[in-house]
Amino acid sequence: MVEFEIVKGDITRFPAEAIVNAANRYLEHGGGVAYAIAKAAAGDPREYIRISKEAMREQIGRGYIEHGEVVVTPAMRLEKHGIRYVIHTVGPYCGGIWDGDKKEKLRKAILGALRKAEELGVKTIAFPAVSAGIYGCPLEEVVKTFKEAVEEFRKEARGVERVYLVLYSEGDYERALRVV
Ligand code: ADP
């Protein structure tokens, strides 16, 4: 059984075996949670961008990822929190607009990371609210899509036991808890 838990915290120090990065398709890690993870992992965010792009070339074979495709990089300095891997996924850009297409792209982005966690053999995985920041998707819809994606994943999960959705601000956390 896969448990889904909404928590408040900073994902760069969240003790899950894998954490997910809300990346852009080029893994540039220029702002938001991506920049925070890159800086915390490598010290110099530019170094983590270099590592991510190299990993993308090796794992995907090109210089960008589509929704549902993910890239794995080592946790480096995040290992002191028990984190072993960073899984980069790309959610949809909404700019305030939400529709079926955005939802499908987000569902793919979440499931791609969950399936990679299975492949990596980890028991715990933590996500930020992918697309609910700079990409401007409504937080409530993002949380709802997380719940549905985890529900879908339950049917195929073998090793993953716990999925965390980590909200950074108190306000977002309160709003996320109210989503049914
Ligand atoms: P996107 O471009 O996919 O919207 P962002 O990085 O802008 O990605 O934001 C995604 C979510 O991550 C936002 O809700 C933002 O508040 C949150 N966030 C930012 N920093 C952190 C952090 N250190 N830990 C967890 N969540 C974070």
pLDDT in tens, 52-101: 999 999 999 999 999 999 999 999 999 999 999 999 999 999 999 999 99
From ligand 1's centre to the CA of 128, what distance in Å?
6
**Structural domain of 29:** 3-179
What is the interface pTM, i.e. ipTM, of the complex?
0.98
- pLDDT 10s digits, 150-166: 999 999 999 999 999 99
Question: Count of H helices and E strands in the chain?
Answer: 5, 6
Residue 180 has pLDDT above 90, yes or no: no
Domain count, the chain: 1
Residues with CB under 6 A from ligand 1: 10-12, 22, 32-34, 36, 91, 128-135, 166, 168-169, 172
> pTM for the complete prediction?
0.98
From ligand 1's centre to the CA of 24, what distance in Å?
12
SS3 163: strand
pLDDT at 144: 98
- Give the CATH number of the domain where residue 32 resides: 3.40.220.10
Residues 88, 112 contacting (CB under 8 angstroms): no
Q: State the closest ligand 1 atom to the C-alpha of 10, by its place in the atom list counted from 1.
A: 24
Q: Which two tokens stand for residue 86?
A: 């960073």
Cα(148)–Cα(85) distance, rounded to whole angstroms? 24
- Surface-to-core class of residue 28, CB atoms within 10 Å of its CB (0-12 exposed, 13-18 middle, 19+ buried): middle
Q: State the closest ligand 1 atom to the C-alpha of 139, by its place in the atom list counted from 1.
A: 14
Q: State the closest ligand 1 atom to the C-alpha of 136, by its place in the atom list counted from 1.
A: 4
